Structure 1
Amino acid sequence: MFFLTDRLEFPPLESANAEGLVAVGGDLSPERLILAYQNGIFPWFNDDSLIMWWSPDPRMVLFPHKIKISKSMRKILKNKTFRLTRNNCFATVLEKCSSIKRVGQDGTWITDKMKKAYMDLYEKGFAKSYEVWQGDVLVGGLYGVDLGHVFCGESMFSTVSNASKFAFIRLAQELEQRKYTLIDCQLYTEHLKSLGAEEITRRDFLKMLEREN
C-alpha cells in the first residue's frame, strides 16, 4: 500500500488494488485535490480512517450528448416545475448532500474535513454547484469539481421527486453546449445508468483527461 507524505505526488495508477484504491494518507489541500482529479483520482473515506484515494476500473461516466431524458422528465423540463441556479449557495448544497438520508447507507462520507476541502476548492473557482428551487425553497442540487473539459460529479441531493435528476440533466445539457468531454460519475449505480451513464476502462478515462491537461 502506498502511503502519501507531504510531497505532492501520487503513485502510478497501475499500482491500485482490485477495488481501485491507489493510496492512503496525505492531506486535502486544494493543490493535492486538483492534482488528484487531473489524474483520475478522488478521495473517499470515513471520518475515523486515513484519507483514501481511489481510481476505479472501470469508471462510470456520462458523455453529455448521451443524457437520457424520459417523457415525464421532458414534461418537467418544459413546464418549469423547478428553477435552476448555479454557484448560488454552494455551502448549503454541500451540507444537504452530507446530511440527506440515503437508502443502504449508514452515515456519510462527506465529513467535516471533506466539507472544508471542497469549500476551499469552491473559493478558488474549481468546485461548482447547481441548485434546484421550487418557489423559494431549495429542493435539490449537486456539486463537483470543474476541470474545464471534464466535470467530476461528487454528490447530489433531493428533497422532492426528480429535483436532483433535473439538476443532472441541466448540467449535461449545458456541458454539451460547452463541448465538455464527459461527466465523471465515478462508480456504477442503476440510477446513473438510467440517465445514460456508462462504464469505460480506466485507460480510456485517463486518455480523455489528458486531452486538455
Structure 2
Amino acid sequence: MNEQKQLLILSEDILELPDPNLALDDPDGLAAIGGDLSSERLIHLYQHGFFPWYSESDPILWWHPSLRCQLNPNKFHCSKSLKKHIRKFSGQIRVNTEFETVIKHCAQLRLEQEGTWISDEIISAFIELHNAGYAHSIEVWQDSRLIGGFYGVAMGRFFFGESMFSLEANASKLALYGLCENAKALDIDYIDCQVESEHLMSLGANLVPRKRFLQQLQKAIPKADKNTNLINKVLLAIN
C-alpha cells in the first residue's frame, strides 16, 4: 500500500528530516515548507538531497524531485565550439576568490531574465555557508575580470550546483568543464544539477531516479563532511 503524499511543515528542530518518498507529485518533489536557512539546517538537508527553491514573497520551500538531474564529471559533453574556445582561453579558473560576487551576479542575471529565487535571504545564508566551508564558487577570470562561473554546496564526494552566470560567451560552460576536469583531484564523483533543463542535458547530464540518488548520497556522504579539497584549491587546471 502506497504511503500518502504529504507536505511537511518544518518545526524549529534543525535536524527534522522530511521523508523524500512522501514528496508531492504535483508539483513534483515539493517536500516541506518553512523552517529557516541556518547553516546547520542547510547542511543537514543538503546531506539528504533537499534544496530550497522559492520566490521572495513565498515561505521557504524544500524540494526533492522524483528524477534528479545529475552530471557525471567523466561524461561532460564538450562540443566542437567549446573545445575551440578552451584552446583559445588564456585566463584562469579559480575557486572561492569572489564567492559573494559570484552569487550576486547569479541573482542579477536571473532577475533580468525570468525573475530570481536568489533573494537577499538566500544570499546571506549561502555566504554564511561559504564561511563555514560548505558553499563554493567556481570562477572564470580573464585578466583581472570575473567573466562567469557558478556556486554550489560540496559535501563528501557530491557537488550540488545552484546557479550559473556568464558575462562573456561560454564562460559558465568553461567553469563547469574546469570542475569536471579536476573532479578526480577534488574527490568529486557526482555533480547534482537538481532540475532538468535542455542546457544541462546538452552538456551530458542525465536523470537519476530518487531511489538511486538516495543510495548515492548514503555512500558518498556518510556524514555531513565538507569537501576540504575545494577549500584548499585556488586554481583549476584545464587541458
Please tell me the TM-score bracket, short chain as reference.
over 0.9
- Between 1:197-206 and 1:96-105, the stretch displaced more is 96-105
Q: What residue ranges of structure 2 are gaps of 5+ in the alignment?
A: 1-6, 223-239
Share of identical aligned residues, percent?
A: 42
Instruction: Name the CA distance, whole Å, in 1 between partners of 2:158 and 2:110.
Output: 28
Instruction: Name the CA distance, whole Å, in 2 between partners of 1:70 and 1:102.
Output: 28
Instruction: Name the CA distance, whole Å, in 2 between partners of 1:22 and 1:102.
Output: 25
Instruction: Name the CA distance, whole Å, in 2 between partners of 1:178 and 1:162.
Output: 23
Counterpart position of 2:10: 4
Give CA deviations for 1:73-101 in whole Å, capped at 9, x if unaligned.
12222222442111000000010000014
Aligned-partner SS, 2:45: helix
- The 4+ residue runs of structure 1 with deviation greater than 6 A are none
Counterpart position of 1:130: 138
Does residue 96 of structure 1 match 2:102? no
Instruction: Name the CA distance, whole Å, in 2 between partners of 1:71 and 1:26.
Output: 46
1:49 to 1:145, Cα distance in 2 relative to 1, 3 A: same
Structure 2 counterpart of 1:90, one-letter code: F
Structure 2 counterpart of 1:185, one-letter code: C
Match among 150, 154, 158 for residue 162 of structure 2: 154
Structure 2 counterpart of 1:146, one-letter code: A
Structure 1 counterpart of 2:24, one-letter code: N
Aligned-partner SS, 2:183: helix
Aligned-partner SS, 1:27: coil
1:143 CA displacement: 0.4
Instruction: Name the CA distance, whole Å, in 2 between partners of 1:194 and 1:102.
Output: 24
Counterpart position of 1:85: 94
Match among 59, 68, 73 for residue 59 of structure 1: 68
Does residue 46 of structure 1 match 2:55? yes
Structure 2 counterpart of 1:181, one-letter code: D
Give CA deviations for 1:122-169 in whole Å, capped at 9, x if unaligned.
000000101112222111010000002000000000011100000011
Counterpart position of 1:35: 44
Aligned-partner SS, 1:170: helix
Instruction: Name the CA distance, whole Å, in 1 between partners of 2:198 and 2:151.
Output: 20
CA RMSD of aligned residues (A): 1.4
Match among 208, 213, 216 for residue 205 of structure 1: 213
Q: TM-score, normalised by structure 1?
A: 0.95
Q: What residue ranges of structure 1 are gaps of 5+ in the alignment?
A: none
Q: TM-score, normalised by structure 2?
A: 0.85
Counterpart position of 2:233: none
Aligned-partner SS, 1:183: strand
Give CA deviations for 1:41-81 in whole Å, capped at 9, x if unaligned.
00001111110000001000001101111122122222224
Counterpart position of 1:194: 202
